[in-house]
Chains A and B, each alone.
Chain A
């Protein structure tokens, strides 16, 4: 059974804190993605990675960075959390090519 896991389901952080969201997939997929999902705005791509140590900006990268040191792990970093980063964060992976994505359960992050 394919699996994408995320480190936390719920997270509460204070403004200015550094936040790490971890995502691990066990399918040996080349591509990994980070999205945020907000009511009325749908899924918006923050960053994606198509190989180890490779990353590309998505539609809304400002205020975020990523790290992919191993093929199975893709981390999203909020350098200095702000209240407008309160959101649901979804990680996904897929094989190289136009294949379906497999999503993790999501992390609901609240920044106070």
Chain B
């Protein structure tokens, strides 16, 4: 089975940096994904980590430590439009299929 934990809510100031953590316990691991979901909209893909280390993509970076079962999403130079829910998803495996399990999401509120 899979267990994924992330904080329920975070607040930050426009222009600042925020780090959203995700810890997981899985019976199999085939990668960790981060998605962004604005209110009333579908989740959209942000980043993917399968090896340890940092992946950078513009203002967003994601880090993975497989030995610690830990990832974080780092958002720099925060903008008001970054107010959204951020979902951590871990891919396990089921009979050869890659099945993602999602955390409950972290609601990020960016204020001026």
Interface of A with B (CB < 8 Å)? Answer: 31, 35, 40-45, 48, 50, 56, 58, 90, 94, 96-106
B33 interfacial by beta-carbon distance below 8 Å: yes
Give A56 to B92 CA distance when docked, in angstroms. 14
Q: Given A43-B87, A56-B94, is A101 in contact with B101 using a C-beta cutoff of 8 Å?
A: no
Residue-wise interface mask of B (39-67) relative to A, using a CB-CB cutoff of 8 A (1 in contact, 0 not): 00111110010100000000000000000
Cα-based distance from A101 to B37 in the complex (angstroms): 13
Interface majority SS (helix, strand, loop, mixed), chain B: loop
Are A98 and B87 interface neighbours, CB within 8 A? no
Q: Are B87 and A90 in contact (CB under 8 A)?
A: no
7 new A-B contacts at CB < 8 Å, known A56-B97, A101-B43, A101-B100? A40-B8, A42-B87, A42-B105, A45-B99, A50-B97, A96-B98, A97-B98
Determine the residue in chain A with the shortest Cβ distance to B47. Answer: A100
Tell me whether A105 and B87 are in contact in the complex, defined as CB-CB below 8 angstroms, given that A40-B104, A41-B104 are known contacts: no
Q: Are A42 and B103 in contact, with the CB atoms below 8 A?
A: yes
B48 to chain A, nearest CB (A): 6
* A5 → B minimal CB distance (Å): 11
Q: Which residues in A have their C-beta under 8 angstroms from that of B99?
A: 45, 48, 58
Closest Cβ neighbor of B42 among chain A residues? A103
Say whether A42 contacts B91, CB under 8 Å: no
Considering the complex, give the chain A residue whose CB is closest to the CB of B1: A59
**Can you list 9 A-B contacts with CB-CB less than 8 angstroms, sorted by A residue number?**
A31-B97, A41-B104, A45-B99, A50-B97, A96-B97, A96-B98, A98-B31, A98-B50, A98-B98
Q: Which residue of B lies closest to A97 (CB)?
A: B98
With most chain B CB atoms within 10 A of its CB, the pick from A50, A98, A106 is A98
Shortest C-beta distance, B26 to chain A (Å), equals 12
Least CB distance from B41 to A in Å reads 7
Given A42, A94, A96, which contacts B104 in the complex, CB threshold below 8 Å? A42
Q: In the complex the two chains form, what is the Cα distance from A105 to B42 in whole Å?
A: 5
Cα distance A41–B104 in the bound complex, in angstroms: 6
Closest Cβ–Cβ distance, residue A85 to chain B (whole Å): 19
